[in-house]
């Protein structure tokens, strides 16, 4: 979740920031600037050959959770 005015109540709870930050390998919750940087990249000439890709901008959360799923190490990778 990105830290914005809409999520302020979530992060106002004393237990939320430590638990939310703990799940993010980069060590912090996303800011609107983090999302804007990804959008700016996609709109820039640097992304001119990017096509049909889901860009995950989550500080490594997805990879962190997928690596902890039981049995994932038993999946054959090609």
How do residues 2-61 score in pLDDT, each as one tens digit?
888 998 888 777 665 555 677 788 888 899 999 999 999 999 999 999 998 889 998 888
Return all residues near 65 (Cβ < 8 A) that are at least 6 apart: 23
Q: Is the pLDDT of residue 78 over 80?
A: no
Residue 67 has a pLDDT of: 63
Residue 69 has a pLDDT of: 59
Residue 1 has a pLDDT of: 78
Give the domain range for residue 64: 5-74
How many domains does the chain contain in total?
1
H/E stretch holding 42:
helix 32-43
Residue 60 has a pLDDT of: 85
Residue 77 has a pLDDT of: 47
């Amino acid at each position: 979740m990105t830290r914005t005015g809409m999520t302020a109540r979530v992060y106002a709870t004393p237990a939320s920031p430590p638990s939310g930050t703990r799940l993010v390998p980069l060590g912090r919750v996303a800011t609107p600037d983090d999302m804007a940087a990804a959008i700016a990249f996609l709109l820039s000439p640097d992304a001119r050959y990017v096509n049909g890709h889901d860009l995950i901008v989550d500080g490594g959360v997805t990879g962190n959770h997928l690596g902890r799923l039981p049995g994932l190490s038993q999946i054959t990778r090609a």
